[in-house]
């Protein structure tokens, strides 16, 4: 019972943390709560340790480095090594279909291809040479993206839907976010690769989870453990239930059960994020626009004058062209085709 309770608590905390991170940027209360929590910890943690932590955090999240790329590959290698070493051979002995057993490897190959493309593809860096081209792609809404605004760092006019990335130190066309896992910005020219990478990563985790769970279930059925009885702490005879089966499997195959727990949690997290990214793609929004949407008011735009008593105008997405038009814009970006022809 203790193991199952701890595992469920771990799962609940991970999912809760992920949800809070997703909605934190849209909820001012959570932002204030995080700020107050940081202030409390500043009184507890020694100042020298705070400086070290800030340097490490700045290096990891505010400078371009391959730390998370290497960590990503290590985690992926460990998961597939455990799958190959433990589950694959035992499943072959139980005469599992080779199609299902080799499917995670096929997804891994495709995933690594799109992972590499996401890492190395130019996301749509704005330069003096292509500045005028990007200025003509999207209409300025005069709310979130006003006209005639220059980037003070790059000294370039900012096209609509662009943003300066402080990590990469460049302005990116149709900026979505900077992803530390690929050490690159996600923009107009590599969003398609990022979506395919995320899709194949989610599919590989889910496939491995299904194969592993089916393997454990077949072991339980073949051993007839679920038909047995046991004596509890009070000396009473009890029928084997789900809690007992989980503990039995954990004691018998600890690494496999841990792997199942990891890939199940990972599948839920990646699946939720994938759905969010697909929603943004279908509505022609970026993560940057979604997170700033509720805060983009006309009174913050110095180029738009309005009476003090007038109601503030919230940001509205003016770039949506319907589902298929939005997807075509992501997977066949016009500016990328133009750049290839120019070269």
Whether 301 sits among the annotated catalytic residues: the reply is no
- Measured distance CA(231)–CA(93) in Å, rounded: 33
Coil/strand/helix, residue 184 = strand
By the 10 Å C-beta count (0-12 exposed, 13-18 middle, 19+ buried), 129 is classed as: exposed
Name the token pair of 98: 């080779």
Strands (DSSP E) found in 32-162:
150-151, 156-157
Name the token pair of 184: 């690159």
Name the token pair of 28: 């001012």
By the 10 Å C-beta count (0-12 exposed, 13-18 middle, 19+ buried), 28 is classed as: exposed
Please identify which residue in the block is written with the tokens 């690594």.
Answer: 112
- Measured distance CA(195)–CA(281) in Å, rounded: 9
Q: Which residues pair with 166 in a beta bridge?
A: none
Name the token pair of 245: 């089966």
- CA neighbor of 94 nearest in space, from 210, 188, 221, 193: 221
Q: Which member of 91, 119, 165, 179 is catalytic?
A: 179
Q: Kindly list the catalytic residues.
A: 179
């Amino acid at each position: 019972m203790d193991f199952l309770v701890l595992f469920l608590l771990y799962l609940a905390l991970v999912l809760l943390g992920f949800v809070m991170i997703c909605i934190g940027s849209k909820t001012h209360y959570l932002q204030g709560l995080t700020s107050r929590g940081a202030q409390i910890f500043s009184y507890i943690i020694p100042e020298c340790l705070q400086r070290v932590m800030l340097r490490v955090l700045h290096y990891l999240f505010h400078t371009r480095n391959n730390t998370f790329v290497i960590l990503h590959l290590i985690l992926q290698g460990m998961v597939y090594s455990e799958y190959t070493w433990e589950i694959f051979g035992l499943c072959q002995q139980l005469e599992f279909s080779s199609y299902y057993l080799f499917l995670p490897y096929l997804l891994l190959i495709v995933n690594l291809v799109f992972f590499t493309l996401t890492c190395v593809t130019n996301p749509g860096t704005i330069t003096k040479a292509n500045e005028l081209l990007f200025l003509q792609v999207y209409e300025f809404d005069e709310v979130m993206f006003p006209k005639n605004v220059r980037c003070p760092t790059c000294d370039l006019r900012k096209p609509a839907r662009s943003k300066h990335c402080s990590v990469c130190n460049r302005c990116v066309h149709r900026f979505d976010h900077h992803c530390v896992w690929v050490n690159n910005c996600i923009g107009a020219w590599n969003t398609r690769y990022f979506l395919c990478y995320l899709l194949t990563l989610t599919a590989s985790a889910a496939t491995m989870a299904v194969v592993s769970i089916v393997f454990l279930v077949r072991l339980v059925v073949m051993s007839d453990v679920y038909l047995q009885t046991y004596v509890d702490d009070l000396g009473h005879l009890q029928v084997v239930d789900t809690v007992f089966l989980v503990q039995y499997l954990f004691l018998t195959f600890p690494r496999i059960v841990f792997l199942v727990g990891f890939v199940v949690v990972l599948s839920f997290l990646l699946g939720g994020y994938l759905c969010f990214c697909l929603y943004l793609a279908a509505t022609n929004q970026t993560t940057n626009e979604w997170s700033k949407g509720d805060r983009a008011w006309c009174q913050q735009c110095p180029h738009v004058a309005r009476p003090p008593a007038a109601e503030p105008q919230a940001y509205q997405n003016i770039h949506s062209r319907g589902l298929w038009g939005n997807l075509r814009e992501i997977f066949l970006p016009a500016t990328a085709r133009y750049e290839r022809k120019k070269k």
